[in-house]
Structure 1
Amino acid sequence: MTVDEFNQAVKLHADGVYRFVLKNIRDEEKARDIVQDSFEKLWVHRNALPVEKLKAYLYATAYHRLIDVVRKDSRMSLIEEVRTEAVHTEQYTDLHEVLNKAVLLLPNDQRSVLLLRDYEGYSYKEIAEITQLNESQVKVYIYRARVFLKNYIGKMDVLV
Structure 2
Amino acid sequence: MTTSEYNRCVHELSDSLYRFAWKSIGEAEEAKDMVQQAFTVLWEKRAEVPPEKGKSFLFTVAYRKCMDVHRARGRTTGTERLHENALTEAPRTNELKKILQQALATLDQQSRNLVLLKDYEGYSYEEIAGMTALNTTQVKVYLHRARKSLKNYLVSKEHVI
**Bigger relative contact order, structure 1 or 2 (CA pairs below 8 A, ≥6 apart):** 2
The higher radius of gyration belongs to 1
Normalising by structure 2, we get a TM-score of: 0.45
TM-score, structure 1 normalization: 0.45
